Amino acid sequence: MELKELYDNRFSNEDRKRNAIWQVLCASFFQKFIPESHAVLDIAAGRCEFINNIKASEKYAFDLNPSVTDFAAQDVCAVNAGCFSLKERLDGKQIDTVFISNFLEHLETKDEVVKILHICSEILSENGQIIILQPNIKYVKGQYWDFIDHKLALTDLSVTEAGQICGLKVKKVIKKFLPYTTKSKLPQLPWIVRLYLKLMPVSGFVFGGQSLIIMEK
């Protein structure tokens, strides 16, 4: 499957809207868990909305789509490579926070889920953490398969279990966090996103289709 064509088609005309959403998510939520002194790695960074907007001392973006180098900001080290080559590409560099958003469901097998989480645990610094934003088939049900590249059915419990197999400790789980997709009917103006976050967990209970999972070394 040609990743560049797939994602260019899926996200055409949405870049500005998605970036505005991620500006709010990073400033109003994720930055609370990520000190600015951290070295942060974004796996399957896509259009780099997260890594461009988070504040960190060092920022890395990995993606198989060659367009990652075009979307990454100047302060981001963008690498066009697969996640299974992380250790070799980082060449011993330790990471304080690994961020994985809407990626694990694209892997071929559950063994691969365990494998990538194991690789992440190996590159983490002491007390490092992995933050996972993941669609939860438990709540979105059949809509989970609306995207042609979704291959694995995962829940918050299956992802945390995979992390525990790799020796990671569960730090925080929000079972129903963000809506399933930015293509939802829920308005996505920045002030509405801020209000959504302020109204958590009620807003998540009503609209959430993705889980947030934070695990630490």
| Rounded CA separation 110/104 (Å) | 9
10: confidence class by pLDDT, cuts 50, 70, 90: very low
Strand ranges, E, within 4-123: 39-43, 58-63, 76-80, 95-101
Rounded Cα gap, residues 161 and 157, in angstroms: 6
8-state DSSP, 179: -
pTM over 0.85: yes
Is pLDDT larger for residue 147 or for residue 133? 133
Select from 13, 215, 181 the least CA-distant residue to 105: 181
CATH 3.40.50.150 fits 3-216, yes or no: yes
Confidence at residue 185, expressed as pLDDT on a 0 to 100 scale: 55
What are the sequence ranges of the domains in the chain?
A: 3-216
The pLDDT of residue 6 is above 90: no
Would you give the distance in Å from CA 167 to the centre of its chain? 20
In this structure, the chain runs to a length of 217
